[in-house]
Amino acid sequence: MNAPLANERSSDRPIPARARPFSKAGRRQPAWMRLVVGREMAPTEPEWRAMVDALWEGDQPMDDLVEWMFASNPREARGLFDKAISEGIGSIPDAPQPLKDFFALVDREPAWLDRELLEEGVSFIHRTGLAGPYVLRDFALMGGYLLSGFNKALILTGALNKGASQRIAETGKWWIDCTEHGGMERYGAGFKSTIHVRMVHAMVRRHLPKNPQWNNEVDGLPVNQIDMVATYLAFGPVMLVGMRAMGIPVLPKDSRAVMHLWKYAGWLMGVQDEWLVDDERAGLVLLYQTYMTQSRPDWTSKELGHALAQEPLDRKLAWLKDWPRLHELRLKTLYHQHLSTTSLFFGKRQRSQLGLPENVFPWFPLLTAGPRFLNYTRKSLLPSTRRKQEQEGRAAQLEALGTMFGEKEHAIIKPGEQHPAHIR
């Protein structure tokens, strides 16, 4: 039997306009890239077809639960959902069957889950200190704004009006929750936050297609499987690549542990098993392939990128509140440090698409990578110094999160809000 042509579909659904045709998505990559990852980065025709189909796929278990919520008493159903997250489905006498079905799914650990490996990933992330937030903010999140399909969902759900400070703080809070020791246990902060955000995504999928400015045939289903894949991979392989660039040595065991942590986070988020990967190389290949289905930069990339670049200037540093001039100087320094870090990962053309100054140089990561490498390596040698490194690194991460929220409540998404702000 002959292989199907690229324009032959396994379903009647059209190819969303945001996806590149296979003739462009399947271009061969340089030999050095194939040598690094062990295969072609570009998708094969079946891989491309599966990704395009997944632009129409949401998260059926949670989508069904949200439909039940709206078919009954939404306020009461939401209260039962929140109680089941916090206290378990057993805390609800005569729980409705849709609620029981959903929590039977997420309460049952996948067979591949290794909780010791999760904790190793958490320990490594703590030891990276401020390198983690820098990479998350200036590489993973800033790079996400180049994908205008994500931005459109943010704008139409009102997230654009919240300001960059709130968006980055919400993202950071979810990241902090997921990277706490025990955070991904059943009643841990990361588990509960992730299930909560999963529900918010389903709300977006339910309501956004009703907006006349959203067109599924152009953008696919909001917060679809491929969008969720790109999100969870940003916290895995993208973070690991960025860590190395910032001077943090990533051993194979560290890479494996971090990938396992975000594999489980992705599973809890509703990513289907076929899109979950175990190792960094496979993650990089899959992430590259998801870009073949993403919209190109547009005016939203420029507006959101510029706003994120300006975000450090709005922070509140409690320890300098009585010295306004020093406070202003410190914020300006942070602004230039973050801008410099972004320039390490994105070229002049991409920085222009993000609304950033073009003539910026990566002075900050280049000046700090060497000392960071030596300091990290020195403290990693002995168990006692490694424990202290982990404690100090986490304290720095929590302090950085505090400067983003200021005096506001440290929350991911306030009740009633329905935007996927944590992914951007």
- The tally of domains found in the chain comes to 1
Helix 252-269 to helix 225-234 angle (10° resolution) is: 150
What range defines the domain where residue 303 resides? Answer: 60-88+109-423
* The pLDDT value given to residue 161: 54
Given 3-state DSSP classes, what are the helix, strand and coil percentages for the chain, each rounded to the nearest 5?
A: 65, 0, 35
Contact predicate 192/86, CB 8 Å: yes
Domain assignment present for residue 173? The answer is yes
- pTM, entire model: 0.90
Question: How far is the C-alpha of 144 from the C-alpha of 162, rounded, in Å?
Answer: 18
CA torsion sign for 165, 290, 190, 56 is positive
Q: Name the token pair of 372.
A: 């960071």
Domain assignment present for residue 155? The answer is yes
Contact predicate 211/153, CB 8 Å: no
Which of 17-31, 32-46, 99-113 is modeled with the greatest confidence?
99-113
Instruction: Pick 355 or 319 by higher pLDDT.
Output: 355
Q: How far is CA 127 from the centre of its chain?
A: 20
Domain assignment present for residue 120? The answer is yes
**Collapsing DSSP states into helix, strand and coil, what is residue 388?**
helix
Domain assignment present for residue 172? The answer is yes
Domain assignment present for residue 18? The answer is no
Residue 279 has pLDDT above 70, yes or no: yes
Which of 44, 58, 55 is closest to 15 using CA atoms?
Answer: 55
* The pLDDT value given to residue 8: 41
Q: Name the token pair of 6.
A: 């690229």
* The pLDDT value given to residue 250: 96
Residue 256 has pLDDT above 60, yes or no: yes
Burial grade of 417 (CB within 10 A; 0-12, 13-18, 19 or more): middle
* The pLDDT value given to residue 41: 82
How would residue 151 be classed by pLDDT, with cut points 50, 70 and 90? confident
Instruction: Pick 163 or 98 by higher pLDDT.
Output: 98
Domain assignment present for residue 256? The answer is yes
Domain assignment present for residue 303? The answer is yes
Residue 140 has pLDDT above 70, yes or no: yes
Domain assignment present for residue 137? The answer is yes
